[in-house]
Structure 1
């Protein structure tokens, strides 16, 4: 697969180049989260979810100064009485959809990721940051709360560090985020997007069936009892042995050539 396609909406750009999809947020210098942005992200994630050929998705902040600086607090006054209906439930649905995309996902963080912006990054499988960027769940500074972010952050950095970030609203730099496990790679040369594209290329060269199943099993390890997860792993392994990709990989190994995986 070598074709490139592009879909541009008002606030979100989706490109598919080969096996890699990129979703770029372009909503002013800070990429603030608004109801309009959430709708366009929802459409983009829905479209990519249905693309069987996509082996990795990258979420990035386009040319904006921030990856995403969180919610546009100017919207809060008009949604106060119906916050669940107008913001909370829909935003949670978009984050869940991102987290549940079947292919591996990477957040490329080239600018600050704050509040709801960090929550978007936390909903991805992996995070690559450019050296010098800051991140944090800063909602408590305004008396607010990072809902899903509190849970996803805790799974990555542990309860004490999560509470420290949540209680203080303080930001941390990317080196500290790397040492805590909040980000997976920090690039000092070039952009996070370029580093994420390189990582995505490596992921896309591996077995797409096995990567999608691996994502399911890792998520199950956190969500389900061990015995239920082990049952899922048995089914997943049977799917691998039934796939053509495994036999292609074995043939390629013995032939000393790169495998040509088809995703089935």
Structure 2
């Protein structure tokens, strides 16, 4: 795409690297470019998993680019198809996304990581939501964070703007794994390849159901699944892959997933 948003395709895995020195901050133009990349990933049937990472090891991302804001970028401007960072508001993204966090994830950078399904981070990574000190709202984090970690811990981060190191983040279940910096991308790629070999229609159903169920009672969600009222579930239940899973089990072999 550009020198700022770098894409690498490895089979069914897409890697998106943000390279915007010095802090990988995101302005409106960068957000729109990231959104187009994630939209293309969503709509490409040959791509099954994405990894989002950033260049360098000091900042994963400082979030919203305040320098660009001072130059005229409006905080309520056009972030593009997927909202800020191209990911957190992208509709119908029913494929796994892995965040590889290496360094400080601050404000919108923290929120970008929260938009992924799995988060791996390096040992020296840290997380903070300093918006409170600027008298503004960490909007996406306020919605998402209390659902990811204990409420009182999320409120602590939102109310105080304090830093959370990698070890504490793992203790509260915010990240899946903490690794040495030189092992981080290898681990993310290992997981991505494993997921890329899995059943894409099942992953799509998992993501759609989990997303919709946040606003539903347990029984309402189960009823909707049973009645095949989720589009991804309806496709799955009539698919070749659904039949292949049962057949492979009966024949004691590995299934061959075709995504149809």
Compute the TM-score of the two structures, normalised by the length of structure 2.
0.88
- Equivalences for residues 6-155 of structure 1 within 5 A: 8-63=1-56, 65-79=58-72, 83-85=75-77, 91-92=83-84, 94-98=86-90, 100-155=92-147
Q: Give unpaired runs (5+ residues) of structure 2.
A: none
Range moving further from structure 2, 218-227 or 119-128: 218-227
How far has the Cα of 1:238 moved from its partner?
Answer: 5.0
Question: What per-residue deviation string (whole Å, max 9, x for no partner) do you get for residues 71-102 of structure 1?
Answer: 2212333448x542356998458343447422
Q: Give unpaired runs (5+ residues) of structure 1.
A: 1-7
Residue 154 (structure 2) aligned to one of 150, 162, 175: 162
Range moving further from structure 2, 149-158 or 245-254: 245-254
For the 8 Å contact 2:35–2:81, the answer to whether it is kept is no
For the 8 Å contact 1:99–1:125, the answer to whether it is kept is no
For the 8 Å contact 2:14–2:47, the answer to whether it is kept is yes
Residue 210 (structure 1) aligned to one of 161, 183, 202: 202
How far has the Cα of 1:187 moved from its partner?
Answer: 1.9
Q: Check 1:83–1:136 CA distance in 2 against 1; reply closer, same or farther (3 A cut).
A: closer
How far has the Cα of 1:60 moved from its partner?
Answer: 0.6
Q: Check 1:149–1:89 CA distance in 2 against 1; reply closer, same or farther (3 A cut).
A: farther
Residue 195 (structure 1) aligned to one of 170, 187, 194: 187
Q: Check 1:230–1:167 CA distance in 2 against 1; reply closer, same or farther (3 A cut).
A: same
Match of 1:241 in 2: 237
For the 8 Å contact 1:99–1:123, the answer to whether it is kept is no
- What CA distance in whole angstroms lies between the structure 2 residues aligned with 1:90 and 1:211? 20
Q: Check 1:239–1:90 CA distance in 2 against 1; reply closer, same or farther (3 A cut).
A: closer
Match of 1:256 in 2: 252
The alignment partner of 1:96 has SS state of coil
How far has the Cα of 1:219 moved from its partner?
Answer: 1.3
Q: Check 1:132–1:85 CA distance in 2 against 1; reply closer, same or farther (3 A cut).
A: closer
- What CA distance in whole angstroms lies between the structure 2 residues aligned with 1:88 and 1:173? 31
How far has the Cα of 1:47 moved from its partner?
Answer: 1.0
Structure number having the greater helix percentage:
1
For the 8 Å contact 1:26–1:62, the answer to whether it is kept is yes
- What CA distance in whole angstroms lies between the structure 1 residues aligned with 2:208 and 2:47? 16
User: Could you say what the CA RMSD is over the residues aligned between the two structures, in angstroms?
Assistant: 2.5
Compute the TM-score of the two structures, normalised by the length of structure 1.
0.87
- What CA distance in whole angstroms lies between the structure 1 residues aligned with 2:182 and 2:84? 32
1:232 matches 2:224: yes
